[in-house]
Amino acid sequence: MGLVCSCDKNYISSVPTMPVSLKIDLSGKYNTFRNSTNEFLFFEKPVYDADRVGFAGILIYSGVNFDDNGNPVYYAFDMACTHELSQSAKVYPVAGEFGKVKCAKCGTIYDVSLGFGNPVSGQSKEILRKYRVTVTDTYLYVSQ
């Protein structure tokens, strides 16, 4: 059983703190995401009643890094743009751009490819709010 975690608790985000709890079945509906790289999943609404999707939804990215066992490293972020701070101003993948997401309202582009979520162009100066990712043999969990 493999276990991968990613989270940096050394920053304070301006994105409001909201409950985060998401369980994704990597052997079922999302099995193609399991060993992918440079892929995105978005959860703007809970999948199950117990799920909580943060302030504006959860973006999960299968990064370009691999763990010691050769498995992709996954990152999760709140979909809220850190410049707009609105539940309706969300980030989505930029077509043709590797690991980049863009705010649909202000146009800020963020780089999520290495798990930082840092702005690379546009008005925002703050990284996207990050969430913890834990992967087991069957499930991917996102939490605070």
Tell me the per-residue pLDDT of 76-93, one tens digit each, with 9 for 90 and over: 999 999 999 999 999 999
Over residues 20-27, the mean pLDDT reads 95
The answer to whether the CB of 69 falls within 8 A of the CB of 92 is no
Pairing of strands 58-66, 109-111: unpaired
> pLDDT tens across 37-72, in order?
999 999 999 989 999 999 999 999 998 888 898 888
Query: So what's the pLDDT on residue 6?
Result: 42
Pairing of strands 72-78, 130-135: antiparallel
Query: So what's the pLDDT on residue 10?
Result: 66
Confidence class for position 137, pLDDT limits 50, 70, 90: confident
Over residues 1-23, the mean pLDDT reads 73
pTM here is 0.90
